[in-house]
Amino acid sequence: MTTPQVVAYGSPELLAAATAARLVTCLVDAQAARGTASVVLTGGRTGAAVLEQVRAAPARDAVDWSAVDVYWGDERFLPAGDPERNETLARQALLDHVPVAPSRVHAMAPSDAGLSPEEAAERYAELLAAAAGAVDHVPSFDVCLLGVGEEGHTASIFPDSPAVHETERSVVAVHDCPKPPPVQVSLTLPAIRRAAEVWLVTAGEGKAAPVAMALGGADEVAIPAAGARGQRHTRWLLDTAAAAKAPGVSSARVS
């Protein structure tokens, strides 16, 4: 897999704006090469801020949004439209404001869809397999956006949890999450590693320790974010507070 590239920005606002600019460029480049593009979205404050910056960017219309496939790295198992769902946040921040094709927005099933969490995970795995065709069980996403938790989780893959030990399934139900709500649905590390580019985007001094451990070679069982790597690029996009303890950060570009 790829050697991580670390880029630190002077504030969370700069981080969100710079990541948004990178994302627009990535999608435009993918469409220039292939006609379509795919992105895996993340939740949280930073994830929503990135999408809001994409929405505000003058270059956003360079993307043919009708030819973008949108996926999620994880989802809170809550009713449709719940304000805490990552899908809801993404729609409010960006998707309801660009001409994305509804058939290309691949949301994970909500808790009121008549499915158990395990069935919701299986349904999403089937969707990914269908999108991948005969190539693999998971499509090669152009870019997968991820956050990092204060204990080192990414998506809904928590330290030493069944999800971090999963090697065969692409999507799993996650119970007893230390971060609420207790039930979530998540891509696994093998699915994340199908992405051409994986971007771990996080801000704040509370993230400095897990960022440093992940970049310092921690085992993915202890720090799941350490196992999130892209086929072509792995980028850690941070603010200076989150990058404060990272090894080699002095050589990283700080904006």
How would residue 251 be classed by pLDDT, with cut points 50, 70 and 90?
Answer: very low
Nearest to 127 by CA among 103, 95, 147, 143: 103
pLDDT of residue 39: 98
Q: What is the pLDDT of residues 17-62, one digit of tens each?
A: 999 999 999 999 999 999 999 999 999 999 999 999 999 999 999 9
pLDDT of residue 92: 98
CA dist 4 → 159, 240, 249 (Å): 20, 17, 12
Q: Which CATH class is domain 5-254?
A: alpha beta
Q: Cβ-count burial of 219 within 10 angstroms (0-12 exposed, 13-18 middle, 19+ buried)?
A: middle
pLDDT of residue 247: 80
Q: What is the pLDDT of residues 119-150, one digit of tens each?
A: 999 999 999 999 998 677 899 999 999 999 99
In the chain, where the domains are located: 5-254
Q: Do residues 9 and 254 lie in contact, with contact meaning Cβ atoms separated by under 8 Å?
A: yes
Average confidence score pLDDT of the chain: 95
Q: What is the pLDDT of residues 59-102, one digit of tens each?
A: 999 999 999 999 999 999 999 999 999 999 999 999 999 999 99
Q: Do residues 104 and 68 lie in contact, with contact meaning Cβ atoms separated by under 8 Å?
A: yes
Q: What is the pLDDT of residues 201-246, one digit of tens each?
A: 999 999 999 999 999 999 999 999 999 999 999 999 999 999 999 9
Per-residue pLDDT, averaged over 107-112, amounts to: 98
